[in-house]
Amino acid sequence: MRFIHAADLHIDSPLRGLSRYQGTPLERLRGATRRALERLVTLAIDEKVDFLLIAGDLYDRDWQDFHTGLFVNAQLVKLKNAGILVFIVQGNHDAQSHMTRQIPWPENVKVFSSRTAETVHLAALGVAIHGHSFPNREVSEDLVPSYPAAVPGCFNIGLLHTSLTGMEGHDTYAPTTLATLKSKGYDYWALGHIHARQVVCEVPRVVFPGNLQGRHARETGPKGCELVTADGGAITARFVPLDVVRWHQVVVDLQPIQQLEDVPRQVAQALQSAVAVADAGEALHAMRVVLTGQTPLHALEASQPGTLAAAVQAAAQEFSGAEIWIEQVKLNLRSPLDRERIGQGSDALGELVRWVDELSGDGAGLEKFCRETLKDVLGKLPADVQAALAHGPSDGDIPQLNDGPALLALLQDAEATLLARLNVPEEKAAS
């Protein structure tokens, strides 16, 4: 008996915020979740699996129109024509009450009830599949105690969308514990909600396969599904990557770099290493490049903003090993100036350094300063950027105004930029 365990497909996820970057391959990015589903269906058919499990969040949100539902339906019909069954629980993104538009499911698809846990018994395969969909977006109680007891003589599978005991970066939904899962006596728990693949336990096998397609720069690395074979009591499984866009965070150390002309070479080496490790076939590599290190190029960037980002883009344009898109270049550079020595001075530069030190140690004061200083500027920003500053976007690129560490980083970066632009005398430099 063979099956596929997938979760968190988030079909037609809106990918907010990407349009603000020049040269963004928007159509490829917006279509990535659909292409990943097509690859999932192809894999199921090619591997002749008996059924497909989807552990929640098939959809990212309520459909804007019927095109999303019709696309998914067409893929499920392909599985029907291949004799492959599909079992789905709905999660927090596609909860029963959250989806207002409806298309009848193909007859090979079973969506588990949101009112109570159910069991589907596949006698010919000797399998019992247990599941419970989310009735609404906010499910705070543990659903597992309501799951039926294991069916004797069958391979028992629990299908569940859950945060378990809580995972960093994910909201807490249907929380439960490994001990509670084990108490049911099932052979396999097919979990969803956590977007990073994780094998929680081997006996019984408890797995988050991760999402099918990374959606932004914090969802890095291979994304795909579990291909599982159960032979009696033995389980063998392998992860199959299915993503068509592979996200990376690439850190490039500019510490040894003294000249701008040497930056593309250093960047190209880092990009090559990332692509080689990824082994992502023909996927588009979406790269967030972080430049770090203490370098005199910090002063060049301060006087000519965008210089280093352009150098990174130039390196990517010459790269021939794979298809690369530079999503963003982030700077985490340090000036070679001796900051401590500057801070001991009686001039304006010394006063600046001391003021930054004082503000850095006062979280409430820093937030108040940012709000008061930036009030007029913030009021002129586009509505979507203001909303991101207030609530934070899906990829966490824009810091919220109550995010102390992010505000502190911005303050320190502003100080470093000012020091670099003010042409600090040579005798105050070089630690």
pLDDT of residue 427: 38
The residues that bridge with 330 in the sheet, in sequence order, are 290
Residue that the structure tokens 């300063």 belong to: 369
Q: List pLDDT tens digits, range 35-79.
A: 999 999 999 999 999 999 999 999 887 777 888 889 999 999 999
Per-residue pLDDT band at 304 (split at 50, 70, 90)? confident
Residue 11 has pLDDT above 70, yes or no: yes
Q: Which residue has the higher pLDDT, 213 or 357?
A: 213
pLDDT of residue 426: 39
Question: Which sign does the torsion angle of CA 147, 153, 159, 162 carry?
Answer: positive
pLDDT of residue 399: 52
pLDDT of residue 79: 98
Domains of the chain, first to last: 2-241 (3.60.21.10), 244-334 (3.50.80), 339-431 (no CATH)
Q: List pLDDT tens digits, range 219-252.
A: 999 999 999 999 977 999 999 999 999 999 999 9
Per-residue pLDDT band at 277 (split at 50, 70, 90)? confident
> Between the CA of residue 286 and those of 13, 331, 376, 382, what are the distances in Å?
17, 17, 35, 26
Task: Please state, in angstroms and rounded to a whole number, the distance separating the CA atoms of residues 356 and 338.
Answer: 15
CA dihedral 124, 127, 128, 133 (to 10 degrees): -100
> Between the CA of residue 17 and those of 78, 252, 315, 406, what are the distances in Å?
33, 24, 24, 18
CB-facing half-sphere around the CA of 122: CA atoms within 13 A: 20
Nearest to 288 by CA among 385, 374, 216: 216
* Coil, strand or helix at 241: strand
Task: Please state, in angstroms and rounded to a whole number, the distance separating the CA atoms of residues 62 and 135.
Answer: 14
Lowest model confidence (mean pLDDT) among 171-180, 227-236, 292-301, 332-341? 332-341
Q: List pLDDT tens digits, range 112-154.
A: 999 999 999 999 999 999 999 998 888 889 999 999 999 999 9
Average pLDDT over residues 89-113: 84
Task: Please state, in angstroms and rounded to a whole number, the distance separating the CA atoms of residues 326 and 81.
Answer: 40
What does pLDDT average to over the chain?
A: 85
Per-residue pLDDT band at 397 (split at 50, 70, 90)? low
pLDDT of residue 378: 61
Q: Which residue has the higher pLDDT, 363 or 211?
A: 211
Distance between alpha carbon 83 and the CA centroid of its chain, in Å?
33
The residues that bridge with 329 in the sheet, in sequence order, are 289
Q: Which two tokens stand for residue 397?
A: 């690129």
